[in-house]
Amino acid sequence: MSMTLTPPVIGNAFATAPNTPRRMPLSREQYSLLGNAGMLPERCELIDGEIIEKLSQSPDHTQSMRRVERVMRRLFGEEFVYSQTPLVLGAHDEPEPDVFVTTLPEATFLQRQPTASDSCLSIEVSVSTLDFDTGRKASRYALAGVADYWVVDVESRRLLVFRDPAGGAYPAPLEFDETQIVSSLAAPLAAISVVDLLP
Amino acid sequence: MSITLTPAISRKHFTRPEYHFLADNGFLRDARYELLGGDILVQMPQKEPHGSLVMAIVFLFARLFGEEFIRCQMPVVLSNDGEPEPDVVVTSSSRSVYQTGGIPTSADVRLVLEVFVSTLPYDVGEKAEKYAQSGVAEYWVVDVESRRLLVFRAPSPTGYAVTAVFTDADAVSPLAAPLVAIPVGDLLP
């Protein structure tokens, strides 16, 4: 009977193929089941089938969000502006945008949640999440066909505007610095100073 | 698709109770899943020759260790966020113990074996690390494409201290049966 060989130690560098195991994409149904059972983190959203936990909100994020909210309420009316509440983008996506604007009165949403087609503008305030908000999250908004998706880039004091989604992606965003004025697709005649969205 | 999460964002990691809660509510039925490192992973559909090879090893191990100590693609509890379903597991207690006592834990496991027919995936090392962290004494990876056996031993919180590669000309004695030499060729097609 042969004996165990003296093992050559070569570390863990065996693998050569891309990851084969795939994370199960969570559906909105599963997400809400977990939510009703109290198994979700306190602040989170469902993005591309993954539960993304929002760990902390910095003071400048809060202030920027409040300013965005105030501007949008003035522009679109109290009733149409939501802040950090669920927006249904698809079977595997239910973000809670910092601010979004609906096209329908709030009575519509007593029985159901607003969806991408009920919304004319979604805005995320980015403090330390710019890559995520302009990358993976933007692609989910694009897939859902959201016509106007804005990212307030607090660190660089600018606004990124994503429009014209095609084939599940937005073209490169329009960039506006804090000296500039922008208007939304839903209210093209109403000028918004970018600086009013920044903390 | 891989993403880098910034510190303000993190993916929720599932615990075993949450994983079982989803299963108990009728989800996780459309495919095979396992829980590893807090992620619910979709298992690839079973293919050949993987299936036949796993069964051949099951019967070989049943002869060596006793059939009541062998489990095939059944869950093992690694931790509160780990419940994988390895191809073959050799347990320290007989089946009847788990029938009443629940899913075997890593402390009940003497050997975990997994078979990879095509190129080894990148997460082989990661998976080995999870087994090591939970104290699985020995982990074998049958690498069919390269006709070799990877052996991981001496688990520690940072991974297996001993990793070794054997070719199909070698014979390997598992820690669970040190007097038995298993020709690596017997684990290969």
- Condensed to tens digits (0 to 9), the pLDDT of residues A144-161 reads 999 999 999 999 999 999
Q: What is the mean pLDDT of residues A64-74?
A: 97
In chain B, what percentage of residues exceed pLDDT 70? 95
The answer to whether residues B160 and A50 touch, using CB atoms and an 8 Å cutoff, is no
Query: Model confidence at A5, in pLDDT bands (50, 70, 90)?
Result: very low
Residues 114-173 of A with CB under 8 A from B: 127-132, 135-136
Helices in chain B by DSSP H: which ranges?
16-24, 50-65, 95-101, 124-133
Q: Decide if A11 touches B, using CB distance below 8 A.
A: yes
Q: Output DSSP code: residue B79.
A: B
Residue of B103, B82, B83, B85 lying closest to B93 (CA atoms): B103
Asked if B76 and B106 touch (Cβ cutoff 8 Å), the reply is yes
Within the 20-39 window of chain A, which residues sit less than 8 Å (CB to CB) from chain B? 20-24, 26, 30, 33-34, 37, 39
Tokens encoding B40: 């619910």
The CA distance from A140 to A133, in Å, is 10
Mean pLDDT of B107-114: 96
How far is it, in rounded angstroms, from Cα A44 to Cα A55?
Answer: 8
A111 CB within 8 Å of a chain B CB: no
The confidence band for A30, taking pLDDT boundaries of 50, 70 and 90, is very high
Indicate yes or no: CB of A132 within 8 angstroms of CB of B3.
Answer: yes
| Region B103-117 average pLDDT | 95
- Reduced to 3 states (helix: H, G, I; strand: E, B; else coil), residue A100 is strand
Which band of pLDDT confidence, cut at 50, 70 and 90, is reported for residue B47?
confident
pTM: 0.83
- Sheet of strand A174-177: strand arrangement: A81-82, A99-102, A119-126, A148-153, A158-163, A174-177
> Residue A61 — pLDDT band, cuts 50, 70, 90?
very high
State the Cα–Cα distance between residues A141 and A2, nearest whole angstrom: 62
Of all residues in chain A, what percent carry a pLDDT higher than 70?
A: 89
What's the mean pLDDT in B19-31? 92
B52 touches chain A (CB under 8 A): no
Phi/psi at B83 (5° precision): -145, 75
CB burial of B131-162 (b: ≥16 within 10 Å; e: otherwise) equals bbbbebbbbbbbbbeeebbbbbbebeeebbee
Is the pLDDT at B1 greater than 60? The verdict is no
Angle formed by the axes of helices B16-24 and A28-36, to 10°? 110
Mean pLDDT of B166-174: 95
Q: What is the pLDDT of residue A20?
A: 55
DSSP-assigned letters across all residues of B100-153: HH-S-BGGGEEEEEEEE-SS-BTTHHHHHHHHHHTT-SEEEEEETTTTEEEEEE
Q: B158 CB near a chain A CB, below 8 Å?
A: no
Q: Collect all residues of chain B within an 8 Å Cβ-Cβ radius of residue A5.
A: 164, 166, 170, 172
Question: Of A64, A67, A39, which Cα lies nearest the Cα of A53?
Answer: A39
Query: Which of A1, A3, A5, A48 is the mutation pick for testing B, counting most B CBs within 10 A?
Result: A5
* Selected residue with higher pLDDT from B77 and A54: B77
The answer to whether B172 contacts A41, with C-beta atoms less than 8 Å apart, is no
Residues of A in contact with B163 (CB under 8 A): 7, 9-12
Identify the closest residue of chain A to B33 by CA–CA distance: A24
Q: How far are the Cα atoms of A12, A14, B55, B80, B127 from residue B163, in angstroms, in the given order?
A: 7, 10, 25, 26, 13
For residue B180, what is the nearest residue in chain A, using CA coordinates? Answer: A1
| Contacts B122 to A, Cβ<8 Å | 15-19
